[in-house]
Structure 1
Amino acid sequence: MTQSADEGFTTRQVHAGSDARAARPRALPIYMTAGFPFDGFDDAAAHFDQGDGFGYTRTGNPTVDAVERKIASLEGGAQALLVASGQAAVTVVLLGLVSAGEHIVCATHIYEGTRGLILDNLARLNIEVDFVDDVNDVAEWESKIRPTTRVLFAESIANARNDLLDIASIARVADGHGIPLVVDNTFATPYLLRPIEHGAAIVVHSASKFLAGQGSVLGGVIIDDGRFDAVRSGALYPHLTGTGRLGGSSLAERHGGLARIAYLRETVAPRLGPTPSPLNAFLVGQGLETLSLRVQRQSENALIVAEWLSTRPEVASVDYVGLPSHPHHALAGRYLARGNGSVFTFTLRGGIDEARSFVEALRVITHMTHLGDVRSLILHPGTTSHVRRTPEEREAHGVLPGTLRLSIGIEDSADLIADLSRGLDASHPPLETVEAVREESGALDVVVAA
């Protein structure tokens, strides 16, 4: 819009120069705007009626849309929906599929935020849950399904024991009941594993982690396989197949196999409001361009580090699916051909005092709550992520007083091992060093007494 010099100063400062010249950028442009002008009266009506074009960033943004299409392609899904965090992605999916009085079957070994969402928040909505202890026990999954069950939920690589989900087997259970298997694929990433290719219906990620990769932004994403079957499953999800409160065609009639994600995009996400910033979407998109390079390097480093830790006498155990000692290592040969991921736990001989000394001696590995960063990170689950579990629950989940979680980055592996060695030296000093300290302390006591 060209402004006239006759218009007032305040009018010109708002409108002059707002019509950027058209150009074709090589990098994804950031559409940092709350809304978009309509070209005409009928364009506005078409947008609100059919969803054509873009009207308001809470319901759609070109930057966000481009990143969604990239993630859908990488995961092998039909469509993706980007939201403000991984927690928002799980919340939107579950609230989009499960109604009051209905039921979820969920793996026990999941992110504590997801567990809290189900047990604290969804329970207040009269949504019930049963947990499956052995993630690959088909009979246990089958036995927990009720007529009111609407979702099976699990993680591809679980927090914290590194359990690997046999996706194809559990997906067959879900499919047999006409309900979706939802898989949190954050730890594996689509470079290592694509659950939809093995039968999962929906995949979620905390895009804050590996997808972004730089530890700078929050984001979450939902990917749908686009195969919702209204004939087979419509009775279970009447909000997808029935006429809405305003009448008209159902979502299944308008969107076919995309009815599930259409409901999440049109009804759940915009009304709950976990809208991603276009800037955050841009940074996630930038991270995606190097995803395979980072994840390959991180997986290679993780295997080197895990193998080294497994040889150390100070370490009681290493829970990494890439090691032959892990109970799901053989399954990893089927699902994780490109690498075994880079997040795992190991347990020191000793308890919390040794863990504290270990963490505080590190210089390269960063102590913080996060994972999937280019930087290597460490956390003590027993006093952080799993602190609200009972000691018995923590032990059942492989979280002992001496357990530490590593997220391995892209640093030189020799530097990581040197840093971990520094931690072991601090937490488990050689016996002769301990005796020397005791002798020195004793001699000091004699001098003081004299």
Structure 2
Amino acid sequence: MNTNGIYCFNRLKGAAEAGDIDLLYTVIQDDPYILERIDLIPFVETPLHTAASMGHLQFATEIMNLKPSYAWKLNQQGFSPIHLAMQNGQKSFVSQFVNINKELVRVQGREGLTALHFASQIGEVDLLAKFLLVCPNSIRDVTVRCETALHIAIKNEQYEALQVLVGWLETNKQRGAVELENGILNKRDDAGNTILHVSALSIEPQKLLLLLSTGINFEAKNLENKTALDIASTPKIKSILLRAGAKSSMEVADAPTLAHMLRSKKTTMYKLLIQTIRIRSDMTEEQRNIWLIVAALIATTMYESALTPPGGVYPSSAGDNSLNITSSNSTISSTQGNVGKSVLSEAIFCLFSVSNMLSFYTSITTIIIMTSSVMQCMVVYMLMYWFSLCYMISMLKISPAYASAIFVKIPFVVLITGPFVCLTFVVYSKLQHERNAKKLDRS
């Protein structure tokens, strides 16, 4: 940079320190390329860095309009403008800064620290809540030590910050919130420690007690193959963990490695599950919705046909009419026993019921398979269970009284219990598949 360039740069820095927008444009008039030349330097203290340190919001906004890339630049110490603003206590500036561009919360500076990490480190709970509100995905960011904002809060004894972070995870309503909560709570740092390990090392039990009511894994092991119970700092911490159901490393089996899972023999049912998952993953959202609609329509139609079978059922007046035809007690008893039963012959009714049940249970199985997450799958399964129970009662109710146990009742039992076994397997398999995937992510 020549003498004139250095002179203009110093004037620009002075404008940033004073927050003087008029002086900024005066410098630009003298040297139109000055902002471009600064931007070419990989690590540099830009005018935006200076304005952020001083809290000059209007000047900073003007600079961001002219050179948006400045907001992402790191100076020679590895800090972005938002990092410097936080270091200098410019709380109002930072709040307005992220309103302009919410993604600035995720700018990683020295050692991978983001604004969210820094707020967690210093216990700035208002900014922490603000960051989570405007940029929820910032909770996923980790430092170079693989530490989440929760790790940082615990290590820096920032209990209120930990409360905010845990509270946000528990009340988050966005898509995938359950998986996000479990993933963040059980995230390991570069030493393999989860936040439960870190809190177990603390003398104060406050943070540990807060984590006990969450979905944290008490059996997680760090790289030294130790659980939180193994490294408990005091007898009191150890007692709390024991009451919560924590186990030592000797009591916890090692999680299966990816190599072990790939080498293990695959059962036929597991192969069917994988094939089902592949089919499901290859579908677009539109195709999945179409399958769900078709399956729901078929299930509803089959249920309605169970309530009103072809040809109808014997009316309740049949018993009264029969008294005028014959006085035989056996005939009266037989006719009255058929009230509400299907008028179909035994063979036709068997064919109808088998076809109806196969269509019905195939449809609800399809609905469960098309459901995305395991949690949703469990909820849908419970709904389908009670729906199927009503269906089963309806089918048994219209079953002809003269139908033999061999040709009707036994097939009913097989067709009713069999699909539920299959449905239970689908739900259980999806649950196991997700658990294995999480174990691999944690290992």
Smaller-chain TM-score bracket: under 0.3
Larger fraction in helix: 2
Q: TM-score by structure 1 length?
A: 0.20
Report the structure number with the largest CA radius of gyration.
2
